[in-house]
Every structure is written in structure tokens, then in C-alpha cells.
A and B are shown apart, each in its own frame.
Chain A
Amino acid sequence: MSEVIVFYFFAAVTLLSGLRVISTSNPIMSALYLVGSMVGISGLFFLLNAPFIAAVQLMVYAGAVMVLFLFVVMIFDTKDDGKKGNSPGPLVGGLKALSIGGLAGIFLYVILFKISNFGYLSPDPSAPQFEVKNMAKLLFTDYMFSFEVLGLLLLVIPIGTVALSRIRGGTHAK
């Protein structure tokens, strides 16, 4: 029973702050709501008996990525951009509303389809207690190839960043 209450709490936090990310006009507040959404997702992972994923979600997304986002947004002068971006004409506004509605509709359809075919997801009480060692073994045996490919993909990102920032005087280019 208590698990259900906690689930609905975290689900509400995730969805409501996710909604506020796109509905608020202040970019700083928008980024902070995104952090709230990340924390809510991490709470859901804890409930699903996956503490390691939950902690990594907190550490990587809420702790590192979003801090960098905020860091950049705070330094930029965003006061005018906020007003411009959120006071559209009837045509642009209508298009925005339509595209958001369409996207939400697709997600809703997928979720309903999934539920009707597979039933609700819930933690399996008979499943063994989560252990990091088991996950590490899987990662370095069965999923070795995808793990290495993912590492290579991440390596491309810093190389690309360095290459882009070095051409034509880098970030100080006229």
C-alpha cells in the first residue's frame, strides 16, 4: 500500500514538473523543473528495485548535466528571449499547440497499447536482490560489444567538441 502512495507521488512529481518545463516562460525555472523531473524518475527507479540505476540517474543527469545547463543559462542574458519565445502569433502558436498535442497523443497511444498488451509493470517480489556484481558481469560478458560501441560513441563527442572549437579561432571567432 505504502509503495503505491510513493509511486503516485514520484509519478506526479515527474509528470507535473515535466509539464512545467515546457509551460514556464523563464528558462532558469524551466531547467530547474527538468531537475525535478529527473529526481522523480530516479525515485521511480528506486521503487522498481534498481538502486544503482537510480543513483546513476541522479549523479549523471541531475548532478552533472543539469548543473552545466543551469551554469550556462545563468551566465547568458535571457530576459528578452523568454518574452519573444513565448508570445507567438496565432499561426505559430497554433502550430506549436498542434505539434505538442500530436506528440502527447502518440506517447499516450504507445503507453495504452503497451498496458493493454503486457499489463502493468511492477517489481517482482521473487526476483533476487539487486547486485552490482551481477550487472558488471553481464556488462562485460553478454553485452561487451554494445558497451564498447557506446564508449566509442562517447569518445566521438569530446573529439568533435575539440575539433569544432579549434577551427577558425574557436569560440572567439568573429
Chain B
Amino acid sequence: MGASGFEITVNTVKMLLIFLLMVQLVPILVWVERRGSAFIQNRFGPNRVGPLGLTQLLADAVKFLFKEEFRPPKSEAFLFYAAPVLALIPGALAFGSIPLSAPFDLTWGGETFSFLFQSFDLGIGIVFVLAISSLGTYALLFAGWGSGNKYSMMGAVRASAQMISYELALGLSLVGILLIYGTFSFSEMIEAQKGPLSFMLMGKNVEIPFLPNWGIFYQPLGFILFFAATFAETNRSPFDLPEAEAELVAGYHTEYGGLKMLMFYIGEYGHMMVASALLATFYFGGWDLPFGSDWLKEAIGSSFLYSLVMHLVFMTKVLLFLWVFVWVRWTLPRFRYDQLMDLGWKTMLPWALFNTVVTAVVVVLFSSVGNS
């Protein structure tokens, strides 16, 4: 946490703020989701409460809070109440370990302290995020078993099967990125993506000045696989079989209502935010601007203000990906279950393996970026 009282205070405030940032983004995302779906389907969406319907979610939150507290008689009390809480934890922990902006300095009592713009840095970056996200299945399993409802349980079993299947493709599609940057740490990956596109080709240094040095140019196939796998991991359409309403009522959260239901929603949007932040960090340079970030740092002067500006850059990238999540949900129809398993095991896993092998060979042959 830190040595002095000031450091501990700032770090605690930072953790709280980052958690609140995640939770507070959810109402806006729900608004984007409802207005976006309306826009795609040629409807109006919620537009009565407040300007553009923006305060609709405030009204909804009040409604959620005052709903009747209900538990099905055949449910298991502990599991039933633990599941919504558990749904929040993985997203919040994973989001806290991603660097959201440049590190900044603060001066207090004549001493200068340096802080990271993230809740905590364990030094193992992506491994921690994968480990914590794999625990997300338990919220669904708790909910499915604890509700004492066979539709809930079918939804939970589907969800766990789906998540295990796609975790393999997800993990393997990241191996290419790890090979190229040679590190697990997010900060070092962002550092490696600074400046214009440049790499070693046949012993010569090739530089393309008009393209940024982003991961997507080195790992286009890895990006597509990772992108598709995150949709399956977040249980979003077209992979939303765990809550397929035509077959399973509402899947694992059939028996939930009010605030408990809302917590599942916050968990789902939290997973989406983590996925978008990871996509931005691995393939689109993280919080860094491709051009002019050094000039910006000089122009602003204060490292704290620079950090805030870079945070806005990062959030722009994250929000773009979040919009893609919404866009895809209202565009693509749901898979059938056998199609889902075929895609995971027979298409994405072999391609991810292929990507890994080709990247390994190319890294050895050309000894490209970040391989020092």
C-alpha cells in the first residue's frame, strides 16, 4: 500500500475511485444499449425521462431498490444470496489491475511520490486477469444451483461448458501477443507499442511513419480470435445461450429480481469493460496516443493533468469497443448449441494453435519488436 500516510491515503482513494468508475459506467452503458438497440431496430427507445432519456436509469435504480425481496422456497439460501455478490467480484478485481493511464507524481510535504493509474500492479498482469475471470463461472453456477429451478440449472451448466471451451481459445490467442512483447505486464506492453510502426525484417530496421506501432498489425489473427472469444466469455449475444429466453425462460437468473438481478447486470457489463480494456491494451496501444503524446506531455506540464488526459484517450478506446459489443448483440442472431461447440473446439482452437506456432517461428526468424 505504501510507506507513508499520504501514499496509503492516495492508494485507497484510487482503489475506491476505480471501482466506482466501473460501477458508474454501467447506467450509461445500459442507456447506450437500450438507445442503441432502438436505433438499430428503428425504434425510439427510452426518451421521456430527462434529456435524451439519460435519467431513465436513475428511475430504474429506484424501482430496483423498492422491489419485493423474494426467495424461492426450494432454493439454497446461502448460494442464492452469494451468487449476485460473486458476480461483481471478478470484473472489479480484473479491472483494477489494468493500467488506465500514465503514472503520475504528487508532491506532499516537500516529498514527491509516484503513483500508478491502476488499483494494484502484481507484475503478472494478464495471468492474474485470466485467473480471476475464470472464477466468474462460479457466480453462474451458484445462481443456477441455488435457485432450485431446472431452467436456472440448465442455464448454469451451459454457461460453464461454454466458458471452459472458449477459455482455451482465449488463452491460446494471447500467446502470440506474449511471444511478441515477451512480457506479462500491461505497462511494458503499452511501452512497447509507442511510436510509429517499426520492426526488424531480414536484419534491416523497417519503419512505416504513418502507422502506429500497435499490436493489431503484428497479431491480426490473434485479435480476431481474442475478440470472438471475449464475446463467449462475457455471455453476450451471439453467445448468450446461458440465458436463451426462448428455451430457458431467463437462464441462470430466472429466479432473481430487483437489486440482485441488477448486480448480475453490473457483473456482465464489468466483464465487457474488462474485455474492452484488454483489447485496447493488447492491440491498440493502451492509454498511449500513437502520435504526439510526447509533445502533449511537454505542453501540459503537470504529470497529473497529463495522466487525466491520457485516461480520456484510454476511455475513448474502451467505449468504442463497448459500442461494438452493443452493435453485435443487436445484429447477429444466437448460435445453436452444437454450432457454438463446433466454433469453439473445431475452428477457433486450431486457428489459435496455428497463430501460436506461426508467431513463434516468425519471432525466432526475424527477432522482431520487444524481443531484446
Contact = CB atoms under 8 A, between A and B. Distances in A.
Contact of A64 (B127, B128, B132, B164): B164
Nearest to A57: B131
Contact of A75 (B130, B157, B163): B157
Interface stretch (B29-37, B133-141, B273-281): B133-141
A137 B317 CA distance: 36
Interface string A52-68: 10111011001110011
Contacts, number: 66
Classify the interface of chain A: helix, strand, loop or mixed: helix
Nearest to B185: A132
A52 B137 contact: no
A130 interface: yes
Interface in B235-284: none
A132 B156 CA distance: 35
28 contacts: A32-B79, A32-B138, A35-B138, A39-B135, A51-B123, A52-B124, A55-B128, A55-B130, A55-B131, A58-B132, A58-B134, A59-B134, A62-B134, A63-B137, A63-B167, A67-B134, A67-B137, A67-B138, A67-B160, A67-B163, A67-B164, A71-B161, A74-B145, A74-B157, A129-B123, A130-B123, A131-B123, A132-B184
Nearest to A50: B124
B322 interface: no
B135 A62 contact: yes
B102 interface: no
Interface residues of A, number: 25
Interface residues of B, number: 26
A11 interface: no
Interface of A: 28, 32, 35, 39, 42, 51-52, 54-56, 58-59, 62-64, 67-68, 70-71, 74-75, 129-132
Nearest to A130: B123
Contacts of A131: 123
A137 to B, nearest CB: 13
